[in-house]
A and B are shown apart, each in its own frame.
Chain A
Amino acid sequence: AQKVTQAQTEISVVEKEDVTLDCVYETRDTTYYLFWYKQPPSGELVFLIRRNSFDEQNEISGRYSWNFQKSTSSFNFTITASQVVDSAVYFCALIKTSGSARQLTFGSGTQLTVLP
């Protein structure tokens, strides 16, 4: 069975601080994809990034960056110079791509609050 753990239930930072959201996953499969989604207070789910298990390159998109390390089964998300609009729940998710099953497993989410 696969599992995604987001140990940080809630994080609160002051605007302009950097913040890292942790994601640790478990899977027996060698081929899989990892995702991050954002859920702002309005409730919709917004895709942020996708990474396949063969691509360990870190990625940067504006103030967002992601650190994928297979050795530690982690896919952490960093927001640089946080803004109030970054306040949301962030979910990490895993889907395996071998075999026929396509279960998508989400972590329990991290509530990020950015204070002005």
Chain B
Amino acid sequence: EAQVTQNPRYLITVTGKKLTVTCSQNMNHEYMSWYRQDPGLGLRQIYYSMNVEVTDKGDVPEGYKVSRKEKRNFPLILESPSPNQTSLYFCASSLQGAGANVLTFGAGSRLTVL
């Protein structure tokens, strides 16, 4: 089944403890991206990647890192999480980043930073 898989789905952590949210897609998509969803703010793009080894900042990249060493994986790294990073995170991918292609979203990862 074609899908975007995120892990973990739920995570509670403490301030400053590094964590990684993994994202993997099995559709050979070139474009991958991360979003955070907060009440009243909709989804905001954190980082995106047009292809392997090509990443770029979205609207809210502060406090996050990403890497794209393989086409299928696009992990989101929080080096030193803070409470303001408590949010619902979505990973998404599409065939290409040209805009013509529809995003396939993962199921979401709910992160709480205490």
Question: Is B103 a contact of A104 with CB atoms below 8 Å?
Answer: yes
Chain B residues within 8 Å of A107, by CB: 42
Question: Is B102 a contact of A97 with CB atoms below 8 Å?
Answer: no
Closest to B110 in A: A43
Query: Could you say which interface size class chain B belongs to?
Result: 20 to 34
Closest to B48 in A: A102
Residue-wise interface mask of A (13-56) relative to B, using a CB-CB cutoff of 8 A (1 in contact, 0 not): 00000000000000000001101000000011101001010000
Known contacts A44-B108, A45-B90; A102 and B99 CB within 8 A of each other:
yes
A107 to B98, CA, bound (A): 20
Question: A44 CB to closest chain B CB, in angstroms?
Answer: 6
Q: Which of A43, A50, A100, A103 contacts B107 (CB 8 A)?
A: A43
Q: Enumerate chain A interface residues (CB-CB to B < 8 A).
A: 6, 9, 32-33, 35, 43-45, 47, 50, 52, 91, 93, 95-97, 100-109
List 9 A–B pairs whose Cβ atoms lie within 8 Å, in order of A's numbering: A35-B102, A52-B100, A97-B100, A102-B48, A102-B97, A102-B98, A104-B33, A106-B35, A106-B44
What 6 new A-B contacts, CB under 8 Å, besides A32-B99, A45-B105, A106-B44?
A33-B100, A35-B103, A91-B42, A97-B98, A102-B48, A105-B59
